[in-house]
Amino acid sequence: MRNAACLSLAMLALSAVASSQQAGGAAPGPTGDVNYIFLPSPTVPDAQATSQPIPRLPDGTVDLTGPWVGGGSNVDIELEGGLKPGELPLLPWARALRDRRKEEQEPYTVCLPMGVPRVNPYPWKFSMSYTSKGLSHIYVLHETGDAGAHRVIYMDGRTHPDDPIPTWWGHSIGRWEGETLVVDTIGYNDKFWFDSRGTPHSEQLHTVERYTRINWGRLRHEFLLDDPGAFSRPVTLNFTARLLRPDLKTGGGELMEFICLEDNQYGAAAKITPGTGTSPR
């Protein structure tokens, strides 16, 4: 069951709405038609989210490891971030670009990284790296692999470089504020889309993320987006990630392997047409 769910998720769920993670079923396209069929990963249900205490690491720090499902903006960053339609403060050029982008232009359909905060709806987790001096790095790992990319959050006290080379994940430095992990990132390139709707950004993008485990089964992701190149003002978005069920007989609580091929043939066996937003019905 776990294998089938993750395979279907990775191949078919690029435009799935966040609410489908709980109910499953078909995801409506922008015109109301069904473009993708979505089988969600099995997550801890709402009724059990508070059934266990929040776990902690040996040093007493709250354990944010996961793996989690959701917590980002796969379909529509405005809607999924808690804003009303038209409330996202895009500059005119950025709004026009979003409106003319097509599904077949989606960077992820050719195996490029989804970017921040687009972790929805694929399972992902935090991985901690320690030295004799303590926590030095946090890695954000994706079940999809994103062409082998992983995000690095530096926890060793370093600052941002003065002139970072623009990259897909940017340059991230982190710190703890009580039990909240705060991640400050600059140095993004402008190549990834914030969502499958095509919401753009510029290389001036600066994000501040606040991750708080509000209970055993849920992780709050507060996302400050500051990009004077594409937005008229900073805006704060809010997402919630759900804990992957740890009680499954096979693969429970673990990420599965998924390889996105350069020629994008991973859906051929399911008769999916890559990059077109279509699937057999």
pLDDT tens for each residue of 157-177: 999 999 999 999 999 999 999
Question: Does the pLDDT of residue 24 top 80, yes or no?
Answer: no
Short-list 246, 272, 266, CA closest to 67: 246
21 SS3 class = helix
CA distance 85 to 129: 40
Question: Does the pLDDT of residue 231 top 50, yes or no?
Answer: yes
Short-list 141, 167, 136, 140, CA closest to 154: 136
Q: Where are the domains of the chain?
A: 45-262
pLDDT of res. 38: 46
CA distance 127 to 211: 14
pLDDT of res. 140: 94
pLDDT of res. 146: 63
pLDDT of res. 147: 62
Say which residue, 159 or 103, is predicted with more confidence. Answer: 159
Question: Does the pLDDT of residue 31 top 80, yes or no?
Answer: no
Say which residue, 272 or 244, is predicted with more confidence. Answer: 244
CA distance 5 to 11: 10
CA distance 47 to 57: 25
Question: Does the pLDDT of residue 10 top 70, yes or no?
Answer: no
pLDDT of res. 261: 65
Give the whole-number percent of the chain exceeding pLDDT 90: 59
Question: What is the overall mean pLDDT for the chain?
Answer: 81
Q: Is the dihedral of CA 154, 159, 161, 167 positive or negative?
A: positive
Lowest mean pLDDT among 47-61, 97-111, 135-149: 135-149
Confidence (pTM): 0.81
Give the whole-number percent of the chain exceeding pLDDT 70: 74
Terminal Cα-to-Cα distance of the chain (whole angstroms) = 21
Short-list 155, 126, 144, 119, CA closest to 213: 126
Question: Does the pLDDT of residue 15 top 50, yes or no?
Answer: no
Write out pLDDT tens, residues 117-171. 987 677 899 999 999 988 999 999 988 766 667 899 999 999 999 999 999 999 9
pLDDT of res. 37: 39
pLDDT of res. 250: 53
pLDDT of res. 168: 94
